[in-house]
Every structure is written in structure tokens, then in C-alpha cells.
Structure 1
Amino acid sequence: MNFTKLDNLKAKLDSHRPLSADVVKNLHDDLVLRWTYHSNAIEGNTLTLQETKVALEGITVGGKTLREHFEAINHKEAILFIEKLASSDELLSEHTINQIHSLILKNIDDENKGKYRKTNVIISGAEHKPPQSIDVPSKMENFIKEYEQKKNRFHAIELAAWVHIEFVAIHPFIDRNGRTSRLLMNSELIKAGYPPVVINVEDRLEYYKALDTAHITGDSTLFLELMKKVSEKSFEPYFYVLGISNDSF
């Protein structure tokens, strides 16, 4: 698959780096909010974009559950955590995955946070069936081994997509696999110097179909096409604040 357009967009952005501290903060605040809102909304959180903003500021939104507030706060903490990992160029590992999952489930399900599931699960609405729980530890060990083999051979977009697809296929945790997988995917993009992507809740059906197709058929084309679309869109806020056009790419 051709990633030339995305490579050109990255080169254009790189030519304007380093960005000023004010620009970085403005872009980061916007990204954290949109990423948190959409990733949680995909999974059924009912906080609106503005309600998510308020929750992240530490204010309780009337009529919303404490669980939904924690989902927003925890997701922001997980973003900050993976950004720290990416800046230190720490490799993906089972330990870091469990740390991310622990942050996502903090104060929500402390009993299961960072622990592989002990029961078999079915992904609602999906044709793919994850492996039995007894096989999860070995599947995750192989997942990391494969990642280490692919990380220097795959394009950054392709590697990020592979991480997401394979992690969700294993479905190692009893809950919060989707949020964790999107964090892992974006961690790979950040390491490679690409902006993190936000899969909008409005694209949920396309997203689920692309994932299930990859799991059932082994063909990740639909998911890669979605990744290319959302990755291209991820450059727009940068170019907007910088006052440059990406129309020529």
C-alpha cells in the first residue's frame, strides 16, 4: 500500500518543527479532548464533547455517572503516559500494555485492571471470536515477538494498524480492549513522528467493519484505508494553526 501522501504531509510538518510552545499546548489540549471524547463515545460513554472538556477540568457534570467521569479522566492520564513512553522511545511490552490498561480502569474496576482475562469472551456484533482465555498469555507473548520483528520493516502507519488489529483480535482483557488498542496504535504513530489519529464516533460502523474484516479474512486493506483517511485528517489542525495549506498533497 502506498503511503507517499502521508509521508509528504509529515515532511511538510517536519519542515516547520520545532513548533512554538504556545502552538504545541494549543494543539495538545485540542487533541487530548477530541481523542478522549471520541474513543470513549465509541464504547458508549454518553458525555458530549463539551461535557468531556468540563470533566477533564475536574468539574462534575450533572446527570452523568461517576464511571463516565473516570473514563474521561483516566483516558487523559493514559494519553500522557504513552506520550512519556514515546518520548523515551521505550519499546512496546506486555508490562507497558498492562500499565496502560491499569490507567484506563483505575477507580472503575481495580480488580481486573492490568490483568489478562480468565474467562472466554464474545465481541458484541463481531463475527471474530477471540482466543480462549487459557491461550491469552502465549498469544500476547507472540504478539510482542511479532511486533519486534515488524517494527523496523513496516511503515509507521502499517505498524500502528497492525498493532491495533492484532491486539483487539487477542482481546486480552475482560474490558477496555478498544480504548487500549487505540492508545497503543497512537503510541506507534507518536514514536514515528506522526500526529496521533482520532477515529470519530461517527465512523464507528466503518471502523468495526474494517476490524472484523481483518480478523475474519486476514485482509487489512479496509482498516489501512481508514487509517490513511484519519491520519491525513490528523495533520489538518497543525497546518491550520501554522497558516499553511495541505491542498497540494
Structure 2
Amino acid sequence: MNPDIWTTAADLNKEYTALNLNKSVIDYEKYKLYAIVTSSTQLEGSTLTELETHLLLDEGLTAKGKPLEHHLMVKDNYEAIKAAMRAGDEQRQLSPELLKELNALNMAGTETIVNNALGTVDGRTGTFRLVNAFSEALGYYLDASKIPAAVRVFCDEYNRQMTGTDPMDALRSSFDAHANLVLIHPWQDGNKRTSRLVMNFMQRRADLPLTKVHKEDSKEYLSALRNAKETEDLTVFRTFMVSQHIKTLQNELTTYKQHNTKGSGFSLIF
């Protein structure tokens, strides 16, 4: 593991936190979440841009010619990330119930009811899958019968880790939880979206800046997840995620500084 990249992340965390942007900039929190929602849903196929996300969530305006499902995906993910932030502020523990709650919000408008020989799964309730799952990107996931026990182990382990006080340990733990929940793959849909929410929940709970996985890095994201699955080692995934964290903070700090250059002010345009 490259120690320099973690030192960079720690320094950026301190610089970003010191600015207290949530309180010093009007609606900063809301628009930060809009950016995360835009990228997270784009990773899963949404075609809405960040501007279109703003118009949808602020004004209720839909993007002409774009699928209804993409609009619903964005609205659902926004409700889910707000719930994740509330859970973090309330210092809630990870539990199967919280995971189901976040997934249910994520899938409220786009999921369907699936009937099979093992029973009925209503994806809108966050119910864990009852059948085995496979994806072209990551292959076969954990056997469905093992999901309840695996989720309990997951919650117990990361609740234990969340008792620590070192911020960089907390950041690393949030990345690890993200990967492990994707690989458990508890739901029939929305697994990566919900895993990113759990990462952001843990970051909020630890009073850390939030990490955004950038759409333009989607291939590297899937490659890092695949590496974690195939090697049973999170080193590559951690390095990818801390680079995403650094990219997120550098972008936000650059934008802030560009609009707050010393001596800059407002002048009329003629």
C-alpha cells in the first residue's frame, strides 16, 4: 500500500474540514449530495447530467427524451442518500434492517416483484435475494442461502471497527465495507448503489468528507472490485478508492478556491 497517497488524503481531509463548507456556503450540502447522486446513478446506467439532476430535484423538471426510469433512479437515490446521512448523524449501528431500509429507498421506483420456486422477493422492500446471482463483470456471488449469516457478520465487524477514533482507519474501513457488501451481493438489484451509500453513511458517522466514485473511472472501479473478489485482498480496491477520495476533495477545493480568490468581487456586465 502506498503510504504517500493516504498522507495526501489525510491532509486534504483536514483542509476540507477546516473550511466548514456545509455551514459557510448556502445549500452546499444539498448540491454535494446531488453530485454524488448524479455519479452513482450514472455508474448504473442513468443518462441524466448533473444539471438535469438539479432541475429534477429542485424544480421537478424532467430531461426531454430521457427514460422515466433514469429520473426515478435519481429521485430514489437522493432519498436514500438523505436517509444515509440522517443515519450517520444519529450514530446508528449497521444492521440488516438499516441495509434493507437503504436498499428499499434506492429501488422504490424501479424495482419489481420477482416470484420463483423459493418464494417472492419484493425489491421495493429491501428483501434479500432468494436465488443465486451472476454478473458478467464479477461472476458468481455468494450463495443466496448464506446471505443472512454473511450480513450479520458484516454488520458486527464494521460496527466493531466504527468504535475506533482514527479518521484514516475510519476512511479505510468505509472503503472495505463498500467492497465487501458488493461481493456479498444481498439484493437482486441495487447492490453497488447501496454499497456506496453504506460507505457514505460510515463516513458521515465518522465526520469525514464523503467520497464520490466518478463515472469516468467506472472501468477502473469494476476492475478493482474484480481484483478484490479474485484475490480476496482489498489492497487494490483501497488504493483505487482513496484516489477517488482525493479526486473528490481536490475538485471541490479547486471549485471553492476559484470562486473565492482574494480580491475578487462582483462587477456589472455590460
The answer for unaligned runs of 5 or more in structure 1 is 245-249
2:56/2:62 contact within 8 Å kept: yes
Figure out how many residues of one structure are paired with residues of the other and give that number: 241
Q: CA RMSD in A?
A: 2.1
Aligned mates of 1:235, 1:226 — CA distance in 2: 15
Aligned mates of 2:22, 2:31 — CA distance in 1: 16
Partner of 1:189: 203
Q: Residue 29 of structure 2 aligns to which amino acid in structure 1?
A: H
Q: TM-score normalized by structure 2?
A: 0.82
Q: Residue 118 of structure 1 aligns to which amino acid in structure 2?
A: L
Partner of 2:248: 234
1:238 CA drift (Å): 4.3
Show the 5 A alignment for 1:79-90: 79-90=81-92
Partner of 2:147: 136
Partner of 1:164: 178
Show the 5 A alignment for 1:27-176: 27-57=28-58, 58-109=60-111, 111-113=122-124, 114-127=126-139, 129-152=140-163, 155-176=169-190
Aligned mates of 1:87, 1:12 — CA distance in 2: 22
Answer 1 or 2: which has greater strand percent: 2
Deviation track 1:25-60 (CA, whole Å, cap 9, x = no partner) reads 2x3233222211111111111223322222223112
Relative to structure 1, the CA distance from residue 48 to residue 215 in structure 2 (aligned partners, 3 Å threshold; closer, same or farther) is same
Identity of aligned residues (%): 26
Aligned mates of 2:26, 2:210 — CA distance in 1: 13
1:24 CA drift (Å): 5.4
Aligned equivalent of 1:10, options 7, 13, 18:
13
2:35/2:50 contact within 8 Å kept: yes
2:73/2:109 contact within 8 Å kept: no
Q: Give runs of ≥4 in structure 1 deviating > 3 Å.
A: 13-17, 19-22
Q: Residue 134 of structure 1 aligns to which amino acid in structure 2?
A: S
Aligned mates of 2:180, 2:137 — CA distance in 1: 18
Aligned equivalent of 1:179, options 172, 185, 193:
193
Aligned mates of 1:188, 1:148 — CA distance in 2: 10
Aligned mates of 2:187, 2:216 — CA distance in 1: 25
Q: Residue 74 of structure 1 aligns to which amino acid in structure 2?
A: D
Q: Residue 65 of structure 1 aligns to which amino acid in structure 2?
A: P
1:239 CA drift (Å): 6.1
Aligned mates of 1:59, 1:143 — CA distance in 2: 39
1:40/1:72 contact within 8 Å kept: yes
Relative to structure 1, the CA distance from residue 122 to residue 20 in structure 2 (aligned partners, 3 Å threshold; closer, same or farther) is closer
Tell which structure's C-alpha radius of gyration is larger. 2
Aligned mates of 1:192, 1:22 — CA distance in 2: 20
Deviation track 1:111-145 (CA, whole Å, cap 9, x = no partner) reads 21210001111022224x21111111111111112
Relative to structure 1, the CA distance from residue 172 to residue 43 in structure 2 (aligned partners, 3 Å threshold; closer, same or farther) is same
